[in-house]
Amino acid sequence: MSAGELEGAAASLLAGGGRFADLFGTTDGDELTLRLVFALDGEGRYVVVEAPVRGTEYADLSKAVPAAFLEQCELFERHGVRPPGTPLNRVLMPPHAKPGAGWSEAAVAADGRTREPHHVRGEAFEFPFGPVRVAGWETLYMGLVTTGEEVLDLYLFYWHKHRGVERRLIGLEPERALFFVERLEGLSAVANGLAFCRAVETAAGIPVNEEAACSRAVAIELERIYNHAAAIAALCQTTGLSVGQAQAEIALERLLRLNLAAFGHRYLFGSLALGGVCRAPDDEAIRRELPAACDELRRVVAALLATNSHVDRLEACGIVDGETARRLSLVGPVARASGCDIDTRRDHPFPPYDNVVPVVPVRATGDAYARMQVFVGEIDESQRIVEELLGHCGEGRCVTEAGPSAALGWAESPRGETLAWVELDESGLIREARLRPAAVRNWRAFDDAARARNVFTDIPIIEASFWQTVAGFAR
Amino acid sequence: MLWFARGLLRRVVTTRYPRRTDAWAAALPSPPAFDSARLTPELAARLVARCPNGSLAIDGGALVLDLGGCTGCGRCVAEGDGAVRPSGVFELASSERIGLVKRIPIKGARK
């Protein structure tokens, strides 16, 4: 369809129960094509709408789909196209950006004029926090607008961490590119890698045997468990419970060592291969260690939930209501804690999730406490899935010659739905790649959560309960 | 700064260097070790092509491994037909950059 019809298509998909998943552009010579991705969760499929753009303008999709605003900002930074008259913020382009290094000339020329002016008046003042912070593990600048205690507004700068990974993938063999995809967001190495592998496999027609698919699922569930354990430890840190933090981190360390024993890497790097996995997991190590580590974590959680000073800080903290979660197309535990019953493992299943269907924990209150409860529920469910798959895992990898083709891949990371779009050229090398980790969707709601009747010291708690990564956003 | 200097002068030990490596660490990924007798020019070229970080290069008659860039991903081990194995060595610190660069002679290569 034409770019002028995109807005109507987006509104129609949204009205039909679709969920906005991504918006990006790919180029072929001088031609730019916009791709709008919607998830039809009820029907178990994704829809990719393609529209070539003539000139430098297209219709403002964020009017119909507010969640698309960030992607529109990114489209301007990368390709120089924008909706006419719509103010845009800087999202990924660093101040020292030059044209020709992945940034459009228009965006570089407009630097300083693309950001909506930030007005702070009256008793309020702007408190610069970051990009290096005491609480928080990654480079992230927060502009906090406050009167001293209450958070009136908050905005984020992510570009300190931008590495241009998608650009780095162009021209690489898919197997070589997988190395960089795994390192895009270290805490979701398997999930992002799996989405990428599935995109390449679909594009190139590479089969994956059942045993290898089970091995992949075990890896991604182990990744989910250790991430949620880390989030619980971080929540303890932010509520000042040093003993609880230390105990959660002991369980976390056991889980990381289990990853090492099962797949050869503490963060599960190098587990995946195109067409399967590099190695089958060590079943015996998982049977021996996983129940013990999860039980240890459950004991910590039981103690935390019986500690008023912990629970009181989490309840009604960083609320994201269901309407906001749907409007911003949030995914993963953040969305599920706000009443959105979505999970790509169940809604868009691929082997082995078509047989081993996860039970998805959902809470309605949308606060940090609800998010912690979702983490705890998902740890139980992931452990069940891993134990069910043990004995069915095996190796398997396959490489076939591929011609020009393109496809979308997806997986459910610990932070939610992660997507990958891959285009291969005549030689089977990557011509274009778009990686959309869950963090891209979920950071969008962080400022809303921080503003919702919270004080300054609630920000680290909200950040821990979101458990997003800047690396996943800034790519 | 004053506290930093004071700490250095008093030489207060907070945590001692581990006397031995933890047993579980034996399974950790580590940089490769090469069997020079089995490292042919063809194999060396394949290893260089497989390294995703550009940590391997051929210089004259030697394969050059830059430990400063190696992530221990294991791709060279998988490619190496038994001529490459994980070294199991983690204590790589060097006071000079050149200390991280290893040269492995290639069998039959011209120098």
Q: What is the CATH number of the domain that holds B101?
A: 3.30.70.3270
Is A264 in the B-facing interface, judged by CB distances under 8 Å? yes
The verdict on a CB contact (< 8 Å) between A180 and B27 is no
**Angle CA A291–A294–A297, to nearest 5:** 150
Is B73 in the A-facing interface, judged by CB distances under 8 Å? yes
Q: Is B28 helix (H, G, I), strand (E, B) or coil?
A: coil
Is A168 in the B-facing interface, judged by CB distances under 8 Å? no
Query: Which residues in chain A have their CB less than 8 angstroms from residue B29's CB?
Result: 264-265, 269-270
Q: How many domains does chain A have?
A: 2
Q: For position A232, what pLDDT does the model report? A: 96
Domain membership flag for residue B14 = no
CB-nearest to A261 from B27, B29, B52 is: B27
Domain membership flag for residue A121 = no
Domain membership flag for residue A290 = yes
**DSSP element (H, E) containing A146:** strand A141-146
Q: For position A370, what pLDDT does the model report? A: 96
Q: How close B99 comes to chain A (CA, Å)?
A: 26
Domain membership flag for residue A257 = yes
Q: For position A48, what pLDDT does the model report? A: 94
The verdict on a CB contact (< 8 Å) between B73 and A270 is yes
Per DSSP bridges, beta strands A405-413 and A416-424 are antiparallel
Q: For position A396, what pLDDT does the model report? A: 78
Residue A265 structure tokens:
């890497």
Task: Identify whether residues A33 and A100 lie together within a single domain.
Answer: yes
How far is the C-alpha of A233 from the C-alpha of A242, rounded, in Å?
9
The torsion of the CA quartet A179, A185, A191, A193, rounded to 10 degrees, works out to: -20
Q: For position A112, what pLDDT does the model report? A: 58
Query: Which residues in chain A have their CB less than 8 angstroms from residue B78's CB?
Result: 278
| pLDDT tens sequence for chain A (475 residues) | 776 788 888 888 888 889 999 999 998 888 899 999 999 998 999 999 999 988 888 888 888 888 999 899 899 988 888 888 777 777 888 878 877 778 888 877 776 555 555 667 777 788 888 788 765 678 888 888 888 788 888 888 888 888 989 999 999 999 889 999 999 999 999 999 999 999 999 999 888 899 999 999 999 999 999 999 999 999 998 898 888 898 999 999 999 999 999 998 999 999 999 999 988 999 999 999 999 999 999 999 999 998 988 899 999 898 999 999 999 999 999 999 999 999 999 999 999 999 999 999 999 999 999 999 999 999 999 999 999 999 888 887 776 667 789 999 999 999 999 999 999 998 889 999 999 999 999 998 988 888 767 777 888 899 999 999 999 999 8
The verdict on a CB contact (< 8 Å) between A260 and B52 is no
How far is the C-alpha of A270 from the C-alpha of B75, rounded, in Å?
9
Domain membership flag for residue B111 = no
Is B23 in the A-facing interface, judged by CB distances under 8 Å? no
Residue A36 structure tokens:
């709008």
The verdict on a CB contact (< 8 Å) between B74 and A266 is no
Task: Identify whether residues A220 and A369 lie together within a single domain.
Answer: yes
Residue A284 structure tokens:
């015996």
Q: For position A118, what pLDDT does the model report? A: 65
Q: How many domains does chain B have?
A: 1
The verdict on a CB contact (< 8 Å) between B52 and A266 is no
The verdict on a CB contact (< 8 Å) between A266 and B24 is no
Domain membership flag for residue B18 = no
How far is the C-alpha of B35 from the C-alpha of B78, rounded, in Å?
14
Q: How close A194 comes to chain B (CA, Å)?
A: 17
Optimal mutation site among A165, A178, A257, interface B, most CBs of chain B within 10 A: A257
Query: Which residues in chain B have their CB less than 8 angstroms from residue A269's CB?
Result: 29, 71, 73
Task: Identify whether residues A181 and A252 lie together within a single domain.
Answer: yes
Domain membership flag for residue B82 = yes
Q: How close A172 comes to chain B (CA, Å)?
A: 10
Domain membership flag for residue A461 = no
CB-nearest to A264 from B24, B27, B75 is: B27
Domain that holds residue A407: 167-453
The verdict on a CB contact (< 8 Å) between A270 and B29 is yes
Return the higher-pLDDT residue of B76 and A85.
B76
Task: Identify whether residues A85 and A207 lie together within a single domain.
Answer: no
Is B75 in the A-facing interface, judged by CB distances under 8 Å? yes
The torsion of the CA quartet A49, A52, A58, A61, rounded to 10 degrees, works out to: 10
CATH of the domain at A363: 1.10.645.10
Task: Count CA within 13 A, CB hemisphere, residue B70.
Answer: 26
Query: Which residues in chain B have their CB less than 8 angstroms from residue A264's CB?
Result: 27, 29, 74
Q: For position A113, what pLDDT does the model report? A: 57
ipTM: 0.76
Is A125 in the B-facing interface, judged by CB distances under 8 Å? no
CB-nearest to A270 from B24, B27, B74 is: B74
Is A186 in the B-facing interface, judged by CB distances under 8 Å? no
Query: Which residues in chain A have their CB less than 8 angstroms from residue B73's CB?
Result: 179, 269-270
Is A250 in the B-facing interface, judged by CB distances under 8 Å? no
Domain membership flag for residue A151 = no
Task: Count CA within 13 A, CB hemisphere, residue A93.
Answer: 33
A149, A456 Cβ separation under 8 angstroms: yes
Q: How close A327 comes to chain B (CA, Å)?
A: 40
How far is the C-alpha of A469 from the C-alpha of A439, rounded, in Å?
6
Q: How close B33 comes to chain A (CA, Å)?
A: 18
Domain membership flag for residue A333 = yes
Is B29 in the A-facing interface, judged by CB distances under 8 Å? yes
Domain membership flag for residue B38 = yes
Domain membership flag for residue B22 = no
- Look up the pTM and report it: 0.89
Query: Which residues in chain A have their CB less than 8 angstroms from residue B27's CB?
Result: 260-261, 264
Task: Identify whether residues A190 and A71 lie together within a single domain.
Answer: no
How far is the C-alpha of B72 from the C-alpha of A244, rounded, in Å?
33
Q: How close A179 comes to chain B (CA, Å)?
A: 7
